[in-house]
Amino acid sequence: MQSSDIKDTEDYEMFFTLKDVQKAVDKAVAAVIAETKSEAMKKAAMKKADLNNQTINLKDSHQAYKAKLFKHNKDLGIRVVHSNCLARQLEVRLTAAKVCMKALQDQLDATQRELRITQEGLVDAGRRGFLRLCVGSHSE
């Protein structure tokens, strides 16, 4: 991991924490090498240092992967929040459409009642007019 790869404070702190661990491991390896007298002990110390470096490299890779996964999860979280907002907007629009539909249905019912009343009035008026015609023609 290079300093140009560091984007978040958490990554920044983690980078220096791993550096400190690497320095401490290097110091420990140097102390072990200085204390060993034979060549076999020096080789064992070098193998240990190599394993420690591999462990640190794995930790760096793991931290980079975790950072990438965190960013991916964050992006997914943003998409989920956006989807939830869209769902809420659609729900509000659906509710508004239902209210409008109910108002239109009420208006249609009122118009149908008025038409029925008007039709009944016209039928009654027609009957009265017909009766007047009938009564008027009989009286002549």
| Spatial distance between the Cα atoms of 98 and 87, rounded to a whole number of angstroms | 16
pTM attached to this predicted model = 0.38
Average pLDDT, the chain: 77
Give the model confidence (pLDDT) of 68-110 as tens digits.
888 888 888 788 888 888 888 989 999 999 999 999 999 999 9
Give the model confidence (pLDDT) of 38-53 as tens digits.
566 667 777 888 888 8
Looking at residue 124, its pLDDT comes to 83
Contact 25, 56 (CB under 8 A): yes
Contact 45, 33 (CB under 8 A): yes
3-state secondary structure at position 37: coil
